[in-house]
Amino acid sequence: MAASMESKRRAARVVASLRGEYPEADCALRHVDAFQLLIATILSAQCTDERVNQVTPGLFAQYPTPADLAACPLPALEKAIQSTGFFRNKARNIQACCRQLVERHGGHIPRDLDALVQLPGVGRKTANVVLGTAFGLPTGVVVDTHVTRLAGRMGLTRETDAVKIEQDLIKILPRDEWIAFSHRMIHHGRRICNARKPNCDECVLSDACPRVGVVPNAPSAKSTRSAAKPIPSSSPKSKKPKKTKQRTSLATADSPEQPRQPVSQRAPGRKVSRRSSPA
């Protein structure tokens, strides 16, 4: 169905506001090339970017190429990535993915969406991350948990399925905004429009956003816990966050490409909570 003029106008307003607020938002996963970004994105499912960034330097020092990862002993790979969670599934996918890269693509990352999604462990989101961030190719819009939530609240889509959301966004966003739009939405979702208590008063879109599904003045879990405590008179008032060059994740939790994690695959000392990865 064709996108309405109203949808396109709203999308243009969102694009302009977020561009002004987060002009240099970028991917938070450290990488030096498309291969490293591909592996880091696979590892980022149900895991924080910080944790992935702790694991990948050692991983790539030990296994610097797809051929190295394809040939390494599976238990060694599992051990190397264990702290990212889902380590058995991820290790299997990474190794199978690297074998296909070697056998079918000469050890290179294909610059093609259809070829990328054929690789084990790689779905549209991961493929769009790699093509957009590593190659600058706007093949689609990355839809993760933040983009899903914010696009719904902003009235840019009524869909809940990531693939359908992406199709809605593609219709209303200029192609040259597809890559940066996701970075900025993710950044905005983390800083302002968070899952439990969106800070609409501080939002650059407060005048334009229809706030679909947002409960006005809903108390957050944090504010409820602290309600009984006296507030010291010296407590600083909350300030509007400064504009920064902070990098944002394009590959946050809730990846549809990973199943629910068995207890045996959870990272030691790390709780995996469904509620911590809101839709």
In the complex, the smallest distance separating the C-beta of residue 132 from ligand SF4, rounded to whole angstroms, is: 22
Catalytic residue (one of 49, 90, 144, 168): 144
Under rule CB under 6 A, residue 180 binds ligand SF4? no
Reply yes or no on whether 144 is catalytic.
yes
Query: What is the Cα–Cα distance from 157 to 148, expressed in whole angstroms?
Result: 9
Stretch that binds ligand SF4, among 29-37, 59-67, 149-157, 265-273 (CB under 6 A): 149-157
CB of 21 or CB of 78, closer to ligand SF4: 21
Under rule CB under 6 A, residue 220 binds ligand SF4? no
In the complex, the smallest distance separating the C-beta of residue 171 from ligand SF4, rounded to whole angstroms, is: 20
Q: How many residues are recorded in the chain?
A: 279
Reply yes or no on whether 26 is catalytic.
no
In the complex, the smallest distance separating the C-beta of residue 204 from ligand SF4, rounded to whole angstroms, is: 7
Query: What is the Cα–Cα distance from 78 to 134, expressed in whole angstroms?
Result: 26
**DSSP SS3 for 15:** helix
Under rule CB under 6 A, residue 12 binds ligand SF4? no
Query: What is the Cα–Cα distance from 246 to 230, expressed in whole angstroms?
Result: 33
**Alpha-helix runs per DSSP H in the chain:** 5-21, 34-43, 49-62, 66-71, 74-81, 87-105, 113-116, 124-129, 135, 145-153, 162-172, 178-191, 221-226
CB of 51 or CB of 211, closer to ligand SF4: 211
DSSP state, residue 131: I
Under rule CB under 6 A, residue 185 binds ligand SF4? no
Q: Which residues have CB under 8 Å from 118's CB, separation 6+? A: 100
Residue 110 corresponds to which amino acid?
P
Catalytic residue (one of 125, 164, 176, 245): 125
Interface contacts to ligand SF4, rule CB under 6 A: 150, 153-154, 192-193, 198-200, 203, 205-206, 209, 211, 214
Catalytic residues: 125, 144
